[in-house]
A and B are shown apart, each in its own frame.
Chain A
Amino acid sequence: MKDRGRFSRRQFVRTLAASGAIAASSLVGQKVPFLSPRKASAASTVLFQYNSPDAPRIPLVQSFVDEFNKSQSEYEVKIDWVPQAQSRQKILASIVAGNPPDVTMVWDQNLPEFEGMGALEDLTSQVKGWKHYAATNPIAWQTVTVKGKIVSFCLGYTNDGVFIRTDRVKEYGLKMPNFDWTWDDFLTLAKGFTRPEKNQYGFGMRGAGQWAFTYATEVMYGNGAQVLKDGKVVINSKEAIEAFEWYIDLLRKHKVTPPSAPTDAYRQIVMGFGRGVTSMVTHSSGSIEEQKNSVGEANFTTLPWPIGPAKKRASFYQCETLTMFKAAKNKEGAWKFMTFMMEDEPHFQYCAKTGMLPTREALLKRPPFTGQWYSGFIKSIPFTIVSPYLSYVGWGSILEAVGAPLIQAAMVGKITPKECLDRWAENLTRNMT
């Protein structure tokens, strides 16, 4: 037994030493001192949390930051790349902990809750004195105004439209619709696209995440339904239920959607279109660049939502914002950086690469925004409204927590469309603050 002991102990100590040596050697040549606690941020550092570190965006944003840092010596912007799935948790935790970043890129639907927490800086007076204030589309200010206060810059905005595979339209000899197509045209086209034996479906329906109910709501507006009317929740009106049934029937009756629809989120519907599993999909202009790569520039175009039986249709705005926190340590630096990002060139480049629409008319007239891929979104602007789900702070969060399970239950047949909308309306009413 003693032999056994000695043998293993020596080896164990050797292994430990070896691992320690390897670990230590890997740190040779690393320039950042790592053992002592960090000093508090110097006055000139601006911490910028960017919450969508996708492969194409990282170099883009980094180049802007580098340019800004080079152009002046007073402030240095440091980027904290946070994967989108963790971003909201991290911001919330840091607000609660009292050390939020100075400036961050967040989506507009998060603004009401941050404002509710008292975490955002009121930028109204500063923005009104900004040189590009008047030239900016008023919609852009609307999306970043919470309770009458402007709290961010709109980095770029978009709405929802329908992507269509033009090559498949030709291939299957279908009729290419125009901008004023109707629900019937939509259904006909979707049926024409659907070939289950080839694993192809007409429409990539979204069942998961925040946007599942939002897209369904946009469709319901086509039948004259509304979320709010005279301050009351009417999303379970007769028109809404009819429209919702038509929408759900795409999956349940006509089977023009992939069977995975109930749990398909952003990634799945975007990739589904990109891989040719679906020939139509609803999304914002944010995925245009990616679809150009996946499907091919010449093979798709975009249209607005089709016109519903009530001769109406709607699309909701979303935007990416640059937002400053009240507890920021370097507000001056943050402001300087934000206004830099909103100058013509950075703003235009950012939008062109990410597919967002720029907030100033003049920039919208430059390519690529003149291409066919943006046509659906630009043509939707006349009837695009700010999302009704932003009306109350408590609504944003239940879209995902309550709305998604509800619509999934309707999609899989667990509850009827009427039940689904009734319960949804009930939840909305309960959360009106």
Chain B
Amino acid sequence: MKEQEATIVAPAPRPLLSRTTREMLANYAYLLPAAICLGGTVLFPILKTINMSLYHNVLFRPQDYRFIGLGNYARMVQDQTFWLTLRNSFAWVLWSVSFQFVCGLAAALLLNASFKGRVILRTINLLPWIVPGVVVGLVWEYLYQPNYGPINDLLRRAALMREPAAWLSEINFAMPAVIITNIWRGIPFFTIMILAGLQAIPIEVYEAATVDGASITQRFWHVTLPILRPIIVVATATRIIWTFNYADLIFVMTNGGPADATQITSTYTLLVAYATLDFGYAAALSVILLVIMLVFTALYLKFTKGVESVAG
């Protein structure tokens, strides 16, 4: 109707940019602050590092600095430790995130109920996340200490253990031990995210389902989970990325040992960078890490049908 009126009156002057272009610009404007943020802090260093990976750059041998193209990458293919760290990283991420997710989901469902003391319990469940990773590593390292740590002490008192098990020093126990610590630390992330998602589900939806005769399990599976799906996908994807890169815990607790049993690719990169000062190789390792995670995330999004919501 407005257009018809416009033809009766004299036509408005043509704006410089068409309406669709203006809209598009306005849309991009929403992204601008985030883009500036990241551009100024992360993007340039990443680009610089990608560049650095093409050079032989050992800090204390500046006279050897030279362009070697894909030389660092060729070295990586031959590097047995690198492949070992990849396998370790895979185990590290798989076990940590799965359990974090399952426990976090359970915790969120439980904490979603209303009961007395809900606030306190929720707060307690958030605590592991508040402590800096390095300190978490120190505390758990102490807990695992075979000779004067509480875990072994309690196990001994409960007569479940005779000889002290050196959790962080035995090849078969070290990785599970650090994974447990990582699980402990990461559960609150999922708890909070899923809890927030659950809160946004309108009760009407549940009521409708109950009226239709759905049981608890059916409600969960057919109502709760689908609505939560975008959040679950986002939470697990971000968590996987974050865990893959997470070096603090392992660094403090085992430093990649014993004998590289807990060496993951990100701690290996740190070691190469700061112990051997081979920044060229470390840069190449980071680039590979980046590529792996990009590929994984792209596939993961495709597989889980991305963040498109069911509600539409």
Contacts and interface: CB of A to CB of B under 8 A. Distances in A.
- Is chain B found bound to chain A in the same assembly? yes
A177 interface: no
Interface in B142-158: 145-148
B306 interface: no
Contacts of B98: none
B277 A263 contact: no
In this complex, the member of B59, B147, B163, B254 whose beta carbon has the largest number of chain A beta carbons within 10 angstroms is: B147
Nearest to A200: B147
A116 B60 contact: yes
Interface in B27-78: 59-62
A173 B276 CA distance: 48
Given A260-B146, A262-B169, A412-B258, A113 B163 contact: no
Interface residues of B, number: 33
A268 to B, nearest CB: 8
A431 B147 CA distance: 38
- Which residue of B60, B252, B255, B260 has the most chain A CB atoms within 10 A of its CB atom? B60
Nearest to A433: B61
Contacts of B147: 199, 258, 260, 272, 275, 277
Contacts of B259: 262, 405-406, 408-409, 412, 414
B258 A259 contact: no
B6 to A, nearest CB: 34
A277 B260 CA distance: 26
A406 B255 CA distance: 13
A73 interface: no
Contacts of B275: 397-398, 400-401
B257 A405 contact: yes
Given A113-B59, A117-B62, A261 B274 contact: no
Interface string A364-382: 0000000000000000000
B91 interface: no
Contacts of B254: 263
A303 interface: no
Contact of B145 (A96, A118, A260, A262): A260
B59 A260 contact: no
A304 interface: no
B148 A275 contact: yes
A411 B259 CA distance: 9
B166 interface: yes
B59 A207 contact: no
B62 A262 contact: no
B174 interface: yes
A398 B272 CA distance: 9
Nearest to B254: A263
A113 B168 contact: no
B171 interface: yes
Interface in A401-421: 401, 404-406, 408-409, 411-412, 414
A393 interface: yes
Nearest to A88: B274
A107 B210 CA distance: 70
Contacts of B59: 92, 96, 113, 116-117
A92 B274 contact: yes
Contact of A414 (B165, B171, B255): B171
Given A199-B147, A414-B171, A262 B61 contact: no
A126 interface: no
B164 interface: yes
A346 interface: no
A411 B258 CA distance: 9
A209 B252 CA distance: 12
Contacts of A397: 275-277
A393 B274 contact: no
Interface in A146-195: none
Contacts of B207: none
B271 to A, nearest CB: 5
Contact of B166 (A209, A259, A394): A259
A117 B63 CA distance: 9
Nearest to A404: B257
A199 B276 CA distance: 37
A112 interface: yes
Contacts of A96: 59
B23 interface: no
Given A116-B62, A412-B259, 5 more contacts: A113-B277, A259-B166, A272-B147, A406-B259, A409-B259
Interface of A: 85, 88-89, 92, 96, 112-118, 196, 199, 207-209, 258-265, 268, 271-272, 275, 277, 393-394, 397-398, 400-401, 404-406, 408-409, 411-412, 414, 433
5 contacts: A115-B60, A258-B164, A262-B258, A263-B174, A405-B263
